[in-house]
Amino acid sequence: MSQPIHPSLQQRHFVAQGFYKIFREKALKGEVYTAKESILFTTTALPGVISMNSTRVHFDPTDAKQRTQAEIEGHRQAASITEFLIKYVPGFEKAYLMDSGIEVGFRESRHIVGEYTLQAEDVQRGRHFDDVIARYGFPCDVHKETKGSYFDDKDKSNKTVEGLWIENDDAYDLPYRCLIPKTLNGLIVIGRCISVSHIAHGSTRLMPLAMAEGQAAGIAAKLAIDSNVDVREVDIRKLQKRLIEEGASLYRDPEAVRIEKERARNAIKEFLANYESINTPEDVEWFD
């Protein structure tokens, strides 16, 4: 953050990322132990309590020894970042580390090989599939994949060491086939291990899509039982009909999409024009 939150914005709940200059300065001097280049935190439902998303570790989640090392590394970073905030950031003088996750979470591990493997291009181009069971629009966000601190990189201005972020043209469809193993019957897979490529996983890994997969998998399992067929032979039209009846969003009218995008564009322009953000239209590439 380069300046306080604008007074026209509500102050109670927010997401904040920043402290780039001082965080980098202290990290380069060894005064804070981190693998990231900034601090990211959000307010919570508890007064005076914020949730930090500022640690990062690299390990093989299939290796028990590395998972143990990752736990130690994560706690070390959390403790160091806490000390940094208390010592250098106004407002945190009386803060303390109240709790941390029960274990290190990992973004990606093994994937099944499904009837179809969703590719990065499918996500980025907003592709549609006849067996769609969910739609999503989050960009391909793949975090830094090499060990060590961001500040270990020789080129300190090289932002690519933090990973990649690829915007999508539009929302994309997730095919039912990505949930069905190619060679194993009687199984529907949901979550981070569905059949997607590494880059596509940068989008599909998030919770909203995993929840939609769970809804589709539950309905599909019931349909398979009722029809006495394997899950790969479920009638897709019946599955989609049930999903829509339960409120799932599987289709959008192209004209409605165009209108929604234009409304969003105008609303953001107006927001920025009123100086209600530290960002400017020049910061938003898709305005051009």
Q: Are 123 and 187 within 8 A, CB to CB?
A: no
Per-range mean pLDDT, top range of 5-14, 129-138, 162-171? 129-138
Q: Are 201 and 108 within 8 A, CB to CB?
A: yes
pLDDT computed for residue 145 by the predictor? 64
Average model confidence (pLDDT) across the chain: 86
Can you tell me whether residue 171 is helix, strand or coil?
coil
pLDDT computed for residue 160 by the predictor? 44
Mean pLDDT of 226-230: 97
260 pLDDT higher than 50: yes
Question: Which tokens in the block code for residue 91?
Answer: 């407002």
Share of the chain above pLDDT 90, in %: 56
* Model pLDDT for residues 36-55, shown as the tens digit of each residue: 888 899 988 888 899 999 99
* Model pLDDT for residues 167-211, shown as the tens digit of each residue: 899 899 999 999 999 999 999 999 999 999 999 999 999 999 999
Helix (H) or strand (E) holding 51: strand 50-52
Distance, in Å, from the CA atom of 1 to the CA atom of 92, rounded to the nearest integer, reads 15
Band (pLDDT 50/70/90 cuts) for residue 226 is: very high
269 pLDDT higher than 90: no
pLDDT computed for residue 158 by the predictor? 45
Distance, in Å, from the CA atom of 287 to the CA atom of 268, rounded to the nearest integer, reads 10
84 pLDDT higher than 70: yes
Domain boundaries, the chain: 1-106, 120-251, 258-287
13 pLDDT higher than 80: no
Model confidence, pTM = 0.79
Share of the chain above pLDDT 70, in %: 84
Those residues with Cβ within 8 angstroms of residue 130's Cβ, 6 or more apart along the chain or in another chain = 236
Question: Which amino acid, one-letter code, is at 251?
Answer: Y
pLDDT computed for residue 248 by the predictor? 94
119 pLDDT higher than 80: yes
